[in-house]
Amino acid sequence: MPSHSSSSSAWIVSVNMGYGHERAAYGLKDLAHGGIIAANDYRGIPDGDRASWKETRTLYELISRLQPVPLIGQKIFALMDYFQRVPSFYPRRDLSQPTTQLKEIYHLIERKQLGKDLIQRLSKNPLPMICTFFTPAFAAEVHGYPGDIYCVVCDADMSRAWVGRDPGRSRIKYFAPNGRVVERLKLYGVSAERIFLTGFPLPKENIGGPEASIVKKDVLARLHNLDPQGIFYDKYASVLEHHFGASMCHLKKNHPLTLTFCVGGAGAQRSIGTDVLRSLKEKILRQEIRVNIEAGVRQDAALYFHKHIRALRLGKALERNLFVHVYDTRSRYFQRFALTARSTDILWTKPSELSFYTGLGLPIIIAPPIGSQEDFNKMWLETVNGGIAQLDPVYTNEWLFDWINSGGLARFAWSGYIEAPTHGAYRIESIVTGKKFSLASPPLIV
């Protein structure tokens, strides 16, 4: 368990399954009393709890890695995805009845007492509890946590598993990343007064306060790289100068054109990254583009890419304009990724929670979705015009630079920055602490 801190205001409880739930928690780290708590991996966790969590995590990661395997892998993944699918939104109807998955979660909490130890520990100092995964929130309610309970939804749509067994009687409050999640929560039976439309909690170090001083500078630097022919600027010069100020619009670029490719938490889709490197080989060697491969905490993924980099004879570019980022700890990964994002011009990722990073003005190349939630994230990302589905990675050297030279990716960067929520972390902090912020971003509607 973390030590206590008098400068923070809430318990931030996450789980280290994949990256999405911890990424949301990282954006709220300033609120974390004594640091972010992993409900499935804290000091003193009972052996039974650890075993239950480990079984779930291991199964998820195994099936996710099997998903690209023809026939058997796809069938196994489809079966798992079926039980956690997001149902069709239309026609609007009552979706409040608990699913089989939800009943299993409550079986673990009530019969096996999952989460009871953690809730008893936190109850000694009943600060508001903000959970970025639903199981700890349900455990808090079942085991009688005396403080307020909040749950941060980490995708652009959500399965029934995110809402308690009896939504009408539940006291869990929800932070929604977009308007669709607000409406989905209502279909699942959550009352409107327990739903707050905030946006996803992006890292504050990428925003720069309510006035968004950092993200504005980063967007401008990015537009310089993504609009080399000035096509986008010539069309939107008056809009850009009105928003940023004429003097800021004429700042020079501060980094080379940079593409960041992200490997998911389960290590899936590595082969796409190697196709990209192979296609961009000559441009990397000529230093026409800088490429970051984000392996997160997966040493096996980093070794995989280093092996292929050697086979492609790209070793001379390593640490010059080709980087494979891997970290010893998950907290270090999130900290460094926030920094990498500032000098990234194009983010290539499956449509995970990273879809919300288009709010930083990052145009997203969308890798194939893995699972029902990611299908909906992709739909949302395309709705706000913050990203576009990848074409054949084998020909990245052709279509990617066509998109850049036409100003197309600059348009995605601008749309993401304008249309997607940016200030989620500040809105959540305001609701939990009562502290008022005057935000630079417009009201949320998407």
% of the chain residues with pLDDT over 90: 80
Burial code (b: 16+ CB inside 10 Å, e: under 16) for 97-136 equals ebbeebeebbebbeeebbbbbbbeebeeeebbbbbbbbbb
Sign of CA dihedral 421, 426, 430, 431: positive
Q: Is the pLDDT of residue 267 over 90?
A: no
The verdict on residue 190 lying in a domain is: yes
Question: For the residues 211-217, what does the mean pLDDT come to?
Answer: 95
Whether residue 446 lies inside any domain: the answer is no
pLDDT of residue 5: 41
- With CA atoms as reference, report the closest residue to 101 among 60, 146, 131: 60
pLDDT at position 71: 56
- Same domain? For 257 and 374 the reply is yes
The 10s digit of each residue's pLDDT in 135-151 is 999 999 999 999 999 99
Question: Which positions ≥6 away from 146 have C-beta within 8 Å?
Answer: 123, 126
Question: Are residues 196 and 90 located together in one domain of the fold?
Answer: yes
| Residues 191 and 217 reside in one and the same domain | no
Residues 193 and 101 grouped into a single domain? yes
The burial of 425, by beta-carbon neighbours within 10 Å (0-12 exposed, 13-18 middle, 19 or more buried), is given as buried
**229 and 190 within one domain:** no
Asked if residue 230 and residue 175 are part of one domain, the reply reads no
- Domain count across the chain: 2
- For 195, list phi and psi in degrees, rounded to 5: -120, 130
Residue 2 lies in a domain: no
| Cα–Cα nearest to 144, from 179, 119, 109, 108 | 119
- Looking at the fold, whether 247 and 334 belong to one and the same domain comes out as yes
Q: Is residue 197 domain-shared with residue 226, that is, in the same domain?
A: no
Identify the CA nearest to 128 among candidates 175, 94, 162, 161.
175
CA distance 221 to 219: 5
Same domain, 352 and 369: yes
Q: What is the average per-residue pLDDT within 122-140? A: 98
- Asked if residue 1 is part of any domain, the answer here is no
Residue type for position 410: A
Q: 1-15, 19-33, 211-225, 308-322 — which is least confidently predicted?
A: 1-15
- When comparing pLDDT for 85 and 442, which is higher? 85
CB 65 within 8 A of CB 40: no
Answer yes or no: do 174 and 265 share one domain: no
Average pLDDT over residues 283-295: 97
Which domain covers residue 43, as residue numbers? 11-204+425-433
- What CATH number corresponds to the domain at position 258? 3.40.50.2000
- Residues 376-423 pLDDT 10s: 999 999 999 999 999 999 999 999 999 999 999 999 999 999 999 999
199 and 219 share a domain? no
List C-alpha distances in Å: 366 to 45, 55, 62, 350, 375: 38, 30, 23, 5, 11
> Is residue 445 in some structural domain?
no
Asked whether the CA dihedral 21, 24, 25, 26 is positive or negative, the reply is: positive
Confidence of residue 42 (pLDDT cuts 50, 70, 90): very high
**Which has more pLDDT, 74 or 350?**
350
Integer Cα distance of 14 and 32 in angstroms: 11
User: Is residue 324 domain-shared with residue 188, that is, in the same domain?
Assistant: no
pLDDT score at 442: 53
Q: Is residue 80 part of a domain?
A: yes
Asked, for residue 317, whether it belongs to a domain, the answer is yes
Distances (CA, A) of 263 to 27, 328, 331: 20, 16, 17
- Cα gap 176→405, rounded to integer Å: 36
**What are the structure tokens assigned to 60, written together?**
């998820």
